[in-house]
Amino acid sequence: MTVTFKELDLIEPIQKALKELGYVTPTPIQAKSIPDLLLGKDLIGIAQTGTGKTAAFALPILQRMPEKFPRRIRALILAPTRELAAQIGTNFAEYGKFLKFKQTVIFGGVGQRPQVDALFKGVDIVIATPGRLLDLMNQKKVSLKEVEFFVLDEADRMLDMGFIHDIKKIIAKLPERRQSFFFSATMSPQVSNLAQGLLKDPVQVEIAPQATTVERIEQHMFFVDSKSKEKLLLQLLLKKHLTRVLIFTRTKHKANHVAEYLSDNRIHAVAIHGNKSQGARTKALEDFKSGRAKVLVATDIAARGIDVNDISHVINFELPNEPESYVHRIGRTARAGTDGTAYSFCAADERNYLHAIEKLIRMEIDVMDHNFHSESAKNATGQDAKPPPRGRGRTGARRPARSSSGGFGGRSSSGRSSGGDSHRSGGSRPSSNPHRSGANTRSSGSKPNSNPHRSGGSSSGSKPSTNPHRSSSSGSKPSKSGGNKSGFRKK
């Protein structure tokens, strides 16, 4: 049975803020956790960005935190990236619009002075990345003695980014008596250890296992030699229905390179990654959000926490080496209940990555026909399907392409049988992540609704899509066979 926010026992100022934001129906993680969290229970939420997890912890904190003077930090939220921290800060400001709390966001890469000034004036809520917070703690500019609410967001990503020691030092300074909220998209033994040390008798909520989240996204695979990827990208970006495009690369260098190539070819593109200054990252994100830049090129870590609606297409210029990242990446095009389209480029030496992705999502991605199609990429097996050893770079397919299609739509082979063969040979690659199978296990059995916003209907309905191709599939599940929607023909 669907509940509405009205039934959730939230105080008037919060109800009013939610109404202004157009939220009517709680997402599953909100509906399942908010009643217990309002009673003061700890939470472990296995959920990724896009499920509405921020409101799931922010609303109970705002409701349960009494106003106290002088203002001291009573809610601390740790996030792995500056962008996610900033996004959570925006969300808190929106949800707490009719309350009187003061908050600040703390992250590295910018001068610490304004952050210290804000702390000095007195704040109730701090949203921080671990490194800078620890810095300020060491300088005795922050005290966590009065923290009553503690949130650790995207714990798995925190561990991936090497924050474990910083986090432990921060946690050691928190009072024992507190309400803790713990979120992670995946659950490894390390993540679970961290949670156990942090939580007391927590409510556990598990939402939209990764492998099922992708089902509402139309996905297409383009086999292409590395040297032809840029030309293929340009050709795709000239199509009108690609209105707002997020492109992923594996490295910062490649992100810069792709953005420059596009800009040289009169497509306004900006890049965002860890080597950019905070100012440059903010500017790039603003340009993309406002539509000044049609394309944002990002690395995986930089893209975490980017909350941009109406991304019409995600393009994987390079496939990720961690299959979970594929799910995170393409999920960017299906925010807040919309559907989306994801294109992926696969060169010969990425063939094994593709195999791992298809294993995780438990489906084969449709292969598209296009000018730069590479049979050698499609059929690569053994050594050819593996990435080159570190340091050798990726300058192209390791073997010259045997054949390329003459033009769009010129091929009619079904394509999947040979793909199937190479899948088998790729299957020997051991999974680097022991928990990958966990995601699959969770998705088996009763399949939860992969779209947190869909159940309500009204919440997604309130957010119009700018992508004409999305609306066509509303109501029914989008076809994964592609057809004309992508402008390409399925192989």
The residue ranges that bind ligand AMP (CB under 6 A) are 23, 25-27, 30, 49-55, 307, 335-336, 453, 459
Q: Which is nearer to ligand AMP, 305 or 419 (CB)?
A: 305
Least separation in angstroms between residue 461's CB and ligand AMP is 10
Q: Which is nearer to ligand AMP, 115 or 338 (CB)?
A: 338
Q: Which is nearer to ligand AMP, 28 or 482 (CB)?
A: 28
Q: Which is nearer to ligand AMP, 30 or 486 (CB)?
A: 30
Q: Which is nearer to ligand AMP, 79 or 319 (CB)?
A: 79
Q: Residue 485 contacts by C-beta under 8 Å, 6 or more apart in sequence?
A: 218, 341, 469, 472, 473, 478, 479
Least separation in angstroms between residue 55's CB and ligand AMP is 5
Least separation in angstroms between residue 20's CB and ligand AMP is 12
Q: Note whether 258 and 249 are within 8 A (CB).
A: yes
Least separation in angstroms between residue 249's CB and ligand AMP is 23
Backbone dihedral angles phi then psi of residue 48, each to the nearest 5 degrees: -105, 170
Least separation in angstroms between residue 1's CB and ligand AMP is 16
Least separation in angstroms between residue 29's CB and ligand AMP is 8
Q: Which is nearer to ligand AMP, 54 or 210 (CB)?
A: 54
Least separation in angstroms between residue 466's CB and ligand AMP is 15
Q: Which is nearer to ligand AMP, 325 or 459 (CB)?
A: 459
Q: Which is nearer to ligand AMP, 25 or 213 (CB)?
A: 25
Least separation in angstroms between residue 204's CB and ligand AMP is 18
Least separation in angstroms between residue 333's CB and ligand AMP is 13
d(CA 22, CA 394): 47
d(CA 43, CA 183): 8
Question: Could you tell me the two tokens for 433?
Answer: 């992540």
Q: How far apart are the two ends of the chain, measured CA to CA in Å?
A: 42
Least separation in angstroms between residue 425's CB and ligand AMP is 38
Dihedral (Cα; 263, 268, 273, 277), 10-degree rounding:
90
Q: Which is nearer to ligand AMP, 75 or 365 (CB)?
A: 75
Q: Which is nearer to ligand AMP, 48 or 443 (CB)?
A: 48
Question: Could you tell me the two tokens for 172?
Answer: 């050691």
Least separation in angstroms between residue 78's CB and ligand AMP is 15
Q: Which is nearer to ligand AMP, 33 or 49 (CB)?
A: 49
Question: Could you tell me the two tokens for 223?
Answer: 């086999």
Least separation in angstroms between residue 278's CB and ligand AMP is 20
d(CA 282, CA 149): 28
Least separation in angstroms between residue 25's CB and ligand AMP is 6
Q: Which is nearer to ligand AMP, 300 or 307 (CB)?
A: 307
Q: Which is nearer to ligand AMP, 49 or 486 (CB)?
A: 49
Q: Note whether 219 and 40 are within 8 A (CB).
A: no
Quick one: which of 299, 259, 291, 236 has its CA closest to 81?
299
Place of tokens 């192209």: 396
